[in-house]
Amino acid sequence: MRLSFLTAATFLLAPMAAQPLVQPLAAQSLEEIQAQSLDRAVTEHTVPAVRAFDDAARDLVMASAKDCRPEAMQPAYNAAFDAWMGLQHLHMGPVEKDGRILAIAFWPDKKGLGPRALSRLIADQDPIIDDAEQFAQASIAVRGLFALEYMLYDDQYDGYGRDSYSCHLVQAIANDLGRMAHAIDVEWASDGGFKDTLLQAAEAETPVYLSRMESLQALYTMLTSSLENTKDQRIGRPIGSFEKPRPARAEARRSGRSERNVILQLEAARDLARKMAPQSDAVAMPNTEEAFAKTIALAEALDDPSFEGAGDPMGRLKIEIIGQNIEAIIGHLANELGAPLGVSVGFNAGDGD
Amino acid sequence: MKRMMTAVIAASLPTITGAGAIAGEAEVVENYANIGAAVYGDALIKGQELSAAIDALIASPSEATLAAAKAAWIEARVPYQQSEVFRFGNPIVDDWEGKVNAWPLDEGLIDYVDPATTGATDENPLGGLNVIANAAFEISGEAVDASTITPDLIAETLHEADEVEANVASGYHAIEFLLWGQDLNGTDHGAGERPYTDYAAGEACTNGNCDRRAQYLKAATDLLVSDLEFMAGQWAEGGEARATVLADPSAGITAMLTGMGSLSYGEQAGERMKLGVMLNDPEEEHDCFSDNTHNSHFYDGLGIHNVYFGKYTRVDGTQVTGESLADLLTAQDAGLAKELGGALDHTMAELGEIKAAAESGFSYDQMLATGNAAGEELIMSAVDALVAQTREIERAVAVLSTSEIAVEGSDSLDNPEAVFE
């Protein structure tokens, strides 16, 4: 991904200097609004997100223990991926720690390292899968949701039986996901956890953010950069260029989740935006709401689960338009959410190429 | 389809002096442009030295001439890596950068490789093309005449062929591959071991097509030098990059901070360092053929340090100094200025530890090995330091940025629904 200079330059000035565009409810200072916004976003958006992923990953572990074969595991796999889509935009704190976000979802895999590493592991019958602690150190190419997707959905891997090496590998990947999901939940949602790092800002035990405005700005950065990521990667990779569309580069196409992931990501971003909205009434950001509704409707209307349609001009255009609409959402967010809250986009993991 | 929306958020600064703009912005930006001119000028000087060393290698291949060319390459990387902080924030650099420093590459496009580790893949059917061994081939259905390997062929036809980013045909890393060859040691100690006889004439030639290999190396080096000439010119008196930052000092300050923050976090901490550790993959080493990655990271960090403190030490030892971001920030918020300076110093210490370990024999690819706790600790400590300095840079942005906020907007096509009807 090429850095968009404009995006990178989208910065805010001294928080004290930013003038809220929408006059807040009488007698509420910008600081009070920021504190309320932060509180709602953290407790009503982030905490449920880490809880949901922990629960879904635990179900996946149990499903793998009961029957490790693809058909039996696929429902729990999809539920876990759904829950991850509600969390993956929060690229911060326990999600970012120890590179967990990469270990849970290593994508895009531009050099095809996943299948290469999985095939080698299976050919060698590598005993690393028998020791959870060791497996946690293994290459992210053989861990997480995308390694599991190869095992459960790719013809090259999905023909294994109970008690085979592949079966134990699948269980090891599920267990590793369960371990990480639980660690994120505990480190985020417990007393003194990352939620308090965000909420208490400078007063937190180990401060990362020096004011509530900084905490809020971090969440706002996650919101917009996740949308940019969806546009540039989930949409941008499969559509490629007009001359050279790349449907085989769609995210999670083997499990037919490419379209679903875009929709779930948009829904997660919308929920975060709503929780952050300066007034509890969603009317505070009418253009944003309209743009989200329209974009999600366009994605739902695609009816192209794996983005195979990217291969023909009309299908490709439909997908491309979703990306353009996402860009519109980002613009509306800046005006209707960022500006009234006195926050803007900071540096994010998508900077760089 | 894109249009710019200048967002409605106007910026007023916390007034310290009562002046409309921060005193000294223009001087800070001028010094930044001077550093830009010096660092790209140095990259060019070292590029020309590399070119001379490569001429000598091709004229008379030997252990000594190959070693001299490799040494020249290592030296050339020192100023270039310090220039990377100019990339993000200056579109003129970012648009050009892919020609000279693209990475990672599917080197099988260029020359022979170990078939077990590299070659054509689903993502890149040209990953095993081997231009050096093939004078004629097809790219995206079109016949290509590669009977003579020229800078033009490399730049226009081979580089990013088939729109695949990994088809890196030009720049430092293509030259690195042609000097060192593939590093087949995995996460064990050792770099690529290309024999000098890969450039030998007649029967002494190893691995075939030595004349074409020399032709490729020469063409890629000429191309690098001309690309560096271009960028050095952009920052010299009268150059466009220089004029752009001088014309609007406030925007120039934002460009400086954008460059520092984007390189620190998304690029260096994320893409170049963390991902390699998580994959345990020596191919994810930035300078994977030469095992020079520790220096690559170190001088990237130093470039960021240079821009903040407004000081650059040239390859001849002279210094470029002047008004700095540190001065500007100190005048506004002395506490933050100290925190940011301290964070950058801390990063340099961490990157210095990686460099020291690598230079004493614990090479970067070893650090990436599965279960190598010491290596992981070294790299992740530097990653953490880069992430921490990014937060301080964001705080500096909030204090120093005076320009209006520009956000990317979209007109979303006039009537996108039409397609769905």
pLDDT tens track for B339-398: 999 999 999 999 999 999 999 999 999 999 988 999 999 999 999 999 999 999 999 999
Q: Residue range A123-149: average pLDDT?
A: 96
Position B211 pLDDT exceeds 60: yes
Q: Does a structural domain hold residue B383? A: yes
Residue of chain B whose alpha carbon sits nearest to that of A228: B408
Q: Does a structural domain hold residue B158? A: yes
CB contact under 8 A, A339 and B9: yes
Question: How far is B79 from B260, CA to CA, in rounded Å?
Answer: 16
Least trusted range by pLDDT, from B125-129, B279-283, B320-324 = B279-283
Position A117 pLDDT exceeds 60: yes
Q: Residue range A286-306: average pLDDT?
A: 97
Is B105 or A215 the better-scoring residue by pLDDT?
A215
Say which residues have a Cβ less than 8 Å from residue B14's Cβ, sequence separation at least 6.
A14, A16, A17, B332, B399
Position B407 pLDDT exceeds 90: no
Q: Which residues, numbered 356 to 375 in chain B, qualify as contacts with chain A under a Cβ-Cβ cut-off of 8 Å?
A: 370-371
Position B331 pLDDT exceeds 70: yes
Question: How far is A87 from A82, CA to CA, in rounded Å?
Answer: 9
% pLDDT > 90, chain B: 76
% pLDDT > 70, chain B: 89
B130-160 pLDDT, tens digit per residue, is 999 999 999 988 999 999 999 999 999 999 9
Angle at A319 between CA A316 and CA A320, to 5 degrees: 85
| Minimal C-alpha gap between B46 and chain A (Å) | 26
Contacts of B281 in chain A (CB under 8 A): 113, 139, 141
Say which residues have a Cβ less than 8 Å from residue A320's Cβ, sequence separation at least 6.
A235, A239
Size of chain B, expressed as the number of residues it contains: 421
Side-chain-side CA neighbours of A209 within 13 Å: the count stands at 21
Q: Are A193 and A187 spatial neighbours (Cβ–Cβ below 8 Å)?
A: yes
Q: What is the dihedral of CA A301, A304, A307, A313, to 10 degrees?
A: -70
Contacts of B123 in chain A (CB under 8 A): 110-112, 249
CB-nearest partner of B91 from A5, A111, A113: A5
| Minimal C-alpha gap between A322 and chain B (Å) | 9
Q: Residue range B204-226: average pLDDT?
A: 98
Write down the pLDDT at residue B115: 81
Type and span of the H or E element at B47: helix B25-59
Position B417 pLDDT exceeds 70: no
Q: Does a structural domain hold residue B117? A: yes
For the entire predicted model, the pTM comes to 0.88
Within an 8 Å CB–CB cutoff, is residue B121 touching chain A? yes
Position B213 pLDDT exceeds 50: yes
Contacts of A30 in chain B (CB under 8 A): none
Size of chain A, expressed as the number of residues it contains: 353
| Minimal C-alpha gap between A198 and chain B (Å) | 14
Write down the pLDDT at residue B185: 87
Q: Does a structural domain hold residue B289? A: yes
- Residue of B8, B9, B140 to mutate when probing chain A, most A C-beta within 10 A: B9
CB-nearest partner of B266 from A139, A214, A349: A349
Question: How far is B303 from B313, CA to CA, in rounded Å?
Answer: 10
Band of residue A65 on the pLDDT scale cut at 50, 70, 90: very high
% pLDDT > 70, chain A: 90
Question: How far is A287 from B10, CA to CA, in rounded Å?
Answer: 21
Write down the pLDDT at residue A199: 98
The mean predicted confidence, pLDDT, of chain B is: 89
The mean predicted confidence, pLDDT, of chain A is: 91
Q: Residue range B281-285: average pLDDT?
A: 79
CB contact under 8 A, B398 and A13: yes
Position A196 pLDDT exceeds 90: yes
CB contact under 8 A, B265 and A21: no
- Return the structure tokens found at B388: 């921490």
Write down the pLDDT at residue A18: 42
CB contact under 8 A, A339 and B91: no
Tally A–B CB contacts below 8 A: 199
Write down the pLDDT at residue B23: 61
- Total of domains in chain B: 1
Write down the pLDDT at residue B165: 87
Contacts of B166 in chain A (CB under 8 A): 110-111
Least trusted range by pLDDT, from A209-213, B15-19, B206-210, B405-409 = B405-409
Of A97, A87, A349, which Cα lies nearest the Cα of B278? A97
Write down the pLDDT at residue B140: 86
- Residue of B281, B381, B383, B407 to mutate when probing chain A, most A C-beta within 10 A: B407
Q: Does a structural domain hold residue B417? A: no
Q: Residue range B281-291: average pLDDT?
A: 85
Q: Residue range A37-64: average pLDDT?
A: 98
Say which residues have a Cβ less than 8 Å from residue B265's Cβ, sequence separation at least 6.
A347, A348, A349, A351, A352, B386, B387, B390
Is A20 or A273 the better-scoring residue by pLDDT?
A273
Q: Residue range B215-224: average pLDDT?
A: 98
Position A245 pLDDT exceeds 50: yes
Position A4 pLDDT exceeds 60: no
Side-chain-side CA neighbours of B89 within 13 Å: the count stands at 30
> Which residues form the domain of B185?
2-15+35-409
Write down the pLDDT at residue B282: 78
Band of residue B118 on the pLDDT scale cut at 50, 70, 90: low
Write down the pLDDT at residue A187: 98
CB contact under 8 A, A10 and B9: no
A109-112 long-range contacts, Cβ below 8 Å, gap at least 24? A109/A141, A109/A146, A110/B123, A110/B165, A110/B166, A111/B104, A111/B106, A111/B121, A111/B123, A111/B166, A111/B283, A112/B121, A112/B122, A112/B123
Write down the pLDDT at residue A344: 86
The domain that contains B229 carries what CATH number? 1.20.1420.20
Write down the pLDDT at residue B405: 35
| Minimal C-alpha gap between B142 and chain A (Å) | 14
- Return the structure tokens found at A233: 């990667």
Q: Does a structural domain hold residue B111? A: yes
A215-239 pLDDT, tens digit per residue, is 999 999 999 999 999 999 999 999 9
Domains of chain A in start order, with CATH, are 5-42+200-341 (1.20.1420), 47-190 (1.20.1420.20)
Position B406 pLDDT exceeds 80: no
Q: Does a structural domain hold residue B173? A: yes
Longest dimension (CA), chain B: 78
Band of residue A283 on the pLDDT scale cut at 50, 70, 90: low
Q: Residue range B405-419: average pLDDT?
A: 34
**A59-79 burial, b for 16+ CB within 10 Å, e for fewer?**
bbbebbeeebbbeebeebbbb
Contacts of A297 in chain B (CB under 8 A): none
Q: Are A153 and A129 spatial neighbours (Cβ–Cβ below 8 Å)?
A: no
Question: How far is B121 from A154, CA to CA, in rounded Å?
Answer: 17
Write down the pLDDT at residue B307: 98
Question: How far is A281 from A278, CA to CA, in rounded Å?
Answer: 8
CB contact under 8 A, B398 and A12: yes
CB contact under 8 A, A11 and B278: no
CB-nearest partner of A99 from B4, B278, B394: B278
| Minimal C-alpha gap between B11 and chain A (Å) | 6
Q: Are B249 and B121 spatial neighbours (Cβ–Cβ below 8 Å)?
A: no
Write down the pLDDT at residue A2: 36
Question: Cis peptide before B61, with omega less than 30 degrees from 0?
Answer: no
Q: Are A316 and A310 spatial neighbours (Cβ–Cβ below 8 Å)?
A: yes
Which residue matches tokens 């000092």? B249
B183-201 pLDDT, tens digit per residue, is 988 888 889 999 999 999 9
| Other residues' Cβ atoms within 10 Å of the Cβ of residue B359 | 11
* CA–centroid distance for B298 within its chain: 12
Q: Does a structural domain hold residue B28? A: no
CB contact under 8 A, A10 and B405: yes
Which residue matches tokens 């405005």? A213
Question: Cis peptide before B104, with omega less than 30 degrees from 0?
Answer: yes
Write down the pLDDT at residue A27: 63
